[in-house]
Structure 1
């Protein structure tokens, strides 16, 4: 079963979700990509939305897909 999380506008952004769930705010794009999103802002969610979360991956260290720091 995939790891999921219910989010609302109160969660502010995927940056906040990634920091809390993945330990790295710059990995917001991994959550976005997995859920078909392209904007980290969650302010437009009027109702709760369930997001699928990727596994924690310490090798993703730059925050940009395909670019290492």
Structure 2
């Protein structure tokens, strides 16, 4: 069962949401992908917006897949 939370600009970014709910800020992209987003910035959300969260997965490495430094 998917978890849905409500976020506003006060939540700052998907980095913060991922750190709190998934235990890894670098997994923000999983939340973005699941919700059809491309930008981790939440500053434009004046009203509460529902976000579906993926299940926490400690086996995933940090970072965005396919992107190397």
The two structures share one fold, judged by TM-score above 0.5: yes
SS at match of 1:6: strand
Q: How many residues align?
A: 68
For structure 2, list consecutive stretches of 5 or more residues without a partner in the other structure: none
Residue 61 of structure 2 is aligned to residue 61 of structure 1: yes
1:5-52: CA deviation from partner (whole Å, max 9, x where unpaired): 100000000000000000000000000000000000000011100000
| Structure 1: 4+ residue segments shifted above 2 A | none
Task: With the length of structure 1 as denominator, give the TM-score of the two structures.
Answer: 0.90
Aligned CA-pair RMSD: 1.5
Task: With the length of structure 2 as denominator, give the TM-score of the two structures.
Answer: 0.90
